[in-house]
Amino acid sequence: MDTDYFQHKGIHFASIIYSEERLKYLENEFQVQDDDVYIVTFPKSGTNWMIEILSLLKTNGDPTWCNSVPIWLRSPWFETLEGQSQIKDVTPPRVLTSHLPFHIFAKSFFTSKAKIIYIMRNPKDILVSLFHFSKMLCLYKDPESFQEFFEDFLQGNVLYSSWFDHVKGWMQMKNNKNFFYITYEELHQDLRGSVPKMCEFLGKEINEAQLDLVVNNASFKAMKHNKMSNYSLLPKDFLDQTKGSFMRKGITGDWKNHFTVAQNEYFDRFYQEKMKDLNFTFFWEEM
């Protein structure tokens, strides 16, 4: 990690879009509202996909809002410096987005009626997605090699640090009624079947025609072509999409095209060791 990063309570942040002061404020003073919904993820888990789904649910599937307002204004990033002013402009009920780990999330959430939707993804695919993303995003040093990035990811030497700790931290909430978890892989396999589960959690009623609209308008193809959702409105010096695409492949199992047999075996050993005390079988482990 280079000098533009700082550590806050063991987690790596980039000074350009975060500050220690704001992180402390969010943890200790920010007032979560009872009707807030937070989309929480480790980076590259399907965060923006979920923002699009929830945006469409808000409009009963009508894509006008998604097609006219940038995704980061529909659901501002909770902990970024820019998010600070954007959150103030959101009309309640707010849907806010965060990559924060459990141990530094807003304390006021835990005494509120607000809800969290936590999305997880096979960490092998996250690693690959983040590797490509880090070549485009100014917050990252261009990785020297896939092998170097592979090791950095396992050691938590990336923004937001360890995927393993993030998931283990948040999954402590798995039996809490205000916490809903789902995987990228489940969304990918059956979006039409997954959306009603989210609606039930959110207390949202939706008919079949509206469900069709949500599913169609939140598809990879629709989002890739929507300039409000594909981050093409961001300046090139922040996100350089001549080096790749934010909406890159949108598939499961792309790690198979990147990992060597040795890297895969090493990853599996590392994963088993790190996750053994969680006692939980993830959807991608059964695929």
Residue 111 or residue 124: which is nearer to ligand PPS going by CB? 124
- Give the separation between CA 255 and CA 124, rounded to whole angstroms: 6
Question: How far apart are CB 150 and ligand PPS at their closest, in Å?
Answer: 16
Residues found near ligand PPS in the complex (CB under 6 A)? 41, 43-49, 125, 129, 132, 218-220, 223, 247-250, 254
| Choice among 99, 132, 166, 188 that is catalytic | 99
Residue 219 or residue 264: which is nearer to ligand PPS going by CB? 219
- Give the separation between CA 234 and CA 225, rounded to whole angstroms: 15
Q: Is 258 a catalytic residue?
A: no
Question: How far apart are CB 111 and ligand PPS at their closest, in Å?
Answer: 28
Question: How far apart are CB 45 and ligand PPS at their closest, in Å?
Answer: 5
Q: Would strands 115-120 and 37-41 be described as parallel, antiparallel, or unpaired?
A: parallel
- Give the separation between CA 267 and CA 67, rounded to whole angstroms: 39
Helix (H) / strand (E) element for 120: namely: strand 115-120
Q: Helix, strand, or coil here: 95?
A: strand
- Give the separation between CA 222 and CA 272, rounded to whole angstroms: 37
Residue 94 or residue 224: which is nearer to ligand PPS going by CB? 224
> Do 68 and 228 meet the contact criterion of CB atoms below 8 Å apart?
yes
Residue 174 or residue 249: which is nearer to ligand PPS going by CB? 249
> Do 23 and 83 meet the contact criterion of CB atoms below 8 Å apart?
no
Question: How far apart are CB 214 and ligand PPS at their closest, in Å?
Answer: 11
- Residue 157, both tokens: 């030497």
Positions annotated as catalytic residues are 99
